Structure 1
Amino acid sequence: MAELVIRLEELEITMFLGIHDFERARPQRVLVSAEITVTGTDWTAGTFFDYDPVAAFIRSFNGTRIDTQEELVSRIHAFVRAREGVVHAAVASKKPDVYPDAKAVGVLLRG
């Protein structure tokens, strides 16, 4: 059976993320992306991967506090990998407002 790759790109959340004082002082924008490889889906038979729970889980981090992007992507990755049919996942986060001379700083976890 073929694999299907689902991509959720740059879902924006606002949270306290970081170890530096300026990151702890105020919430910041975080863009989260996930690439999810699934098997066992057949839209002609009515079987599909529901990505709404993944988006809802990511949105649940709005307003929360986490020290590192590594922890954030690890938690999201574990949630995604636990979903039925998932054989591989890559989860990335990036903070677009940290450095004025950089587009973003981010982390990617695959496996």
Structure 2
Amino acid sequence: MADLIIRLEELEITMFLGIHDFERARMQRVLVSAEITVTGTDWQAGRFFDYDRVAEFIRSFNGSRIDTQEELVSRIHAFVHGLDGVAHAAISSKKPDVYPDAKAVGVVLRG
């Protein structure tokens, strides 16, 4: 059976994320995406990857405080890699409201 790639794109959460005073003073929007390669799935046999667990874990960061996007994606990446059947994951975060002349600032962790 071939591997599947599951994509969760730009799940929006709101949290304190950053090291600068203005980032610590108010919550900001953060968009999180995951691309997860899974093995051992067979929809005909009822074996599938439950991506609800990933979405709920990401949503659990709503209202939290983390200093860097690197820490955020590392935590999510570790959680995803702990799930059965995960062979590879790329987790990204981006902050769309940092600079008025940029679409977003983000970080990607692959492995």
Distance in 1, matches of 2:98 and 2:24, equals 12
Corresponding residue for 1:73?
A: 73
Unaligned runs of 5+ in 1: none
Deviations 1:17-37, CA, capped at 9 Å, x for gaps: 000111000000000000000
Corresponding residue for 2:52?
A: 52
Corresponding residue for 1:100?
A: 100
Corresponding residue pairs, total: 111
Deviations 1:57-90, CA, capped at 9 Å, x for gaps: 0000000000000000000000000000000000
Q: Which runs of 4+ in 1 moved over 4 A?
A: none
Corresponding residue for 1:27?
A: 27
Q: CA deviation at 1:2?
A: 0.7
Distance in 1, matches of 2:99 and 2:23, equals 12
Amino acid at match of 1:84: D
Distance in 1, matches of 2:105 and 2:10, equals 13
Unaligned runs of 5+ in 2: none
State, as a whole percentage, how many aligned pairs show the same letter. Answer: 86
Q: CA deviation at 1:106?
A: 0.1
Q: CA deviation at 1:93?
A: 0.0
Q: What RMSD over aligned residues (CA atoms) do the two structures have, in Å?
A: 0.4
Amino acid at match of 1:5: I
TM-score after normalising by structure 2:
0.99
SS of the residue aligned with 1:77?
A: helix
Q: CA deviation at 1:105?
A: 0.1
Distance in 2, matches of 1:23 and 1:96, equals 13
